[in-house]
Every structure is written in C-alpha cells, then in structure tokens.
Amino acid sequence: MTNFFRMTSLAATVAALALTATPAMAVTGPTIVQPDSQAKATARIVKPLTLTWVRDLDLGTIVLSGANSWSGAVVGIDKAGVFSCTDSNVTCSGTTKNAEYNITGTNNQVVTVTAPNVTLTDQNDTTKTLTLAVDAPKTVTLANSGTNPTPLDIGGSVTVASNTPDGTYTGTFAVTVNY
C-alpha cells in the first residue's frame, strides 16, 4: 500500500508540476480603439431651381453698306444691355434689348449658367444662318429665396459681311442653370 501512496503521490506531484510549468492561456476580447475625433455627417437641402423667360434679345435693324466688299462687322448687345454697332459698314436702328430670365432657388447659392451660341435662321430661306455669339455669366449667386427672383441677363452678337443675305433671322436660346 505504501507503493500505492508513493505512486499516487508521485503522480500528483508530476501533475502539479505540469500545471505550474505550462503558462495558462488568458481569454481576452477584441481590442477597442477610438479615433482621436469622430466624423460628422452633413446634408445641405436646397430649394429646386426655376428659370423663367422674361424678355427676348433684339439687335434691332442692321443696314449693310453697299460700298465695296467687306466682312467682319460685329453688331451686338452685352449681358449688361450695352449695344455696340461701331463698324462703318453697318448702320443700326430700332429698339435693342438683351435677353432676360429670372432664377429662383435657395438664397446665396451659386448657380452655374450654361448658354451655348445660338444659330439664327433666315425665316424666308432656312439655308441662310448667322451665329449669335452668346454673352452670359458663367455663374450667378442667388440674391434671395422664394418670391423675389434673381435676374439673369444674356447678350449676344452677330458678325455680318457685305454678302450677308437680307432677312429676319431668329433662333432659340438653350439656357440652363444648375446648382
């Protein structure tokens, strides 16, 4: 029986040494790391844009000089409404005006204006055209929201020559605005 106790005692000692010699594995959870600052979320809400026609552009009547052959006479009105007809080969008359639109949307928002050149077609002969080089602002800052619109003035100019066919030339603007 003594051998039994010695063997049991020896087995218990070996087991105790085995438990103390092997390091225990600690059970840990995931490491949580916080940023130095949290990100913020933002959403800007703006009113829908409206673009309303107010007035057509009119360059009046352009009378071509019959003397000699010439080209490159520019007649136009700028977006501020200043009319120009300074070439000695043309005489201009009639009431002139730049085109005007009204824009509504959200106060102090910058609006991008797109206004490509316009093809003007002779109303008696659609094969005859002039190009209206459009003078429009690239951007407009809305002055207020709602009922008081911000005006958008647009001008343009045509280049005529001694051989430009007579007629009434008209075309349509393709103006758009966008936030």
Kindly state the tokens that stand for 154: 């647009």
Asked whether residue 39 is assigned to any structural domain, the reply reads no
The answer for 60, left when phi > 0, alpha when psi is -120 to 50, beta otherwise, is left
Note the pLDDT of residue 6. 46
The answer to whether residues 143 and 105 touch, using CB atoms and an 8 Å cutoff, is: no
The answer as to whether 120 is a domain residue is yes
What's the pLDDT at 94?
Answer: 97
Instruction: Write down the pLDDT at residue 14.
Output: 45
pLDDT on residue 166: 96
Is residue 37 in a domain?
A: no
Q: Which portions of the chain are predicted below pLDDT 50?
A: 1-19
In a domain, 30, yes or no: no
d(CA 48, CA 106): 8
One-letter amino acid at 88 equals S
Q: How many domains does the chain have?
A: 1
Nearest CA to 137 out of 151, 148, 152, 117 is that of 152
Query: Residue 7, SS3?
Result: helix
DSSP β-bridge partners for residue 101: 53, 152
CATH assignment at residue 88: 2.60.40
**Cβ 106 vs Cβ 64: under 8 Å:** no
> What pTM was computed for the model?
0.77
Range of the domain at 66: 50-178
- Tell whether 99 is covered by a domain: yes
What pairs with residue 130 in β-bridges?
120
Q: Is residue 55 a part of any domain in this protein? A: yes
Look at residue 106 and tell me if it is in a domain. Answer: yes
pLDDT at 172: 98
